[in-house]
Amino acid sequence: ADKSVEEIVKKRMAIMSKIKAYSSKMYPMTMTGEFDEIKIVNEDLLHAALEFKEFFHEGTQGGKASDLIWEDRETFDLYHDNFIKSIQDIAISIENEDSVSLMENFNIMASNCGTCHKKFRN
């Protein structure tokens, strides 16, 4: 069982690295108006963010994840749902080719990362 927990923690950390990479790649793109390119990165980000939540089963504590995730699951789920919604809002901004709301929604998404990390990361 320890081996599978270790694998889950590694997978979780790998997905978080992907989320960080997509976010970092997207940030300078938000100022270019290249909506087609931003859309691809945002879809990759959304996919990774949705997948991420699947790697927090009971009994998979470890890595840089705080035990508080499992102790206060309701708040963790709320923060994750807010993160997903902010990525979906970015998609709407892209669809509307609205650079101002794109930047606003990107900043909200980035802020959601920080809020969750402050509370749930060791």
Give tens-digit pLDDT for 8-62: 999 999 999 999 999 999 999 999 989 999 999 999 999 999 999 889 988 999 8
The secondary element (H helix, E strand) that includes residue 65 is: none
51 vs 118: CA distance, rounded Å: 21
Residue 67 exposure: Cα atoms within 13 Å on the Cβ side: 0
Token duo for residue 78: 């709320």
Whether residue 1 is predicted with pLDDT greater than 60 in this model: the reply is no
What predicted TM-score, i.e. pTM, was given to this entire model?
0.93
Q: What is the pLDDT of residue 37?
A: 96
Q: What is the pLDDT of residue 90?
A: 98
- Which conformational region is residue 89 in: left (phi greater than 0), alpha (psi within -120 to 50 degrees), or beta? alpha
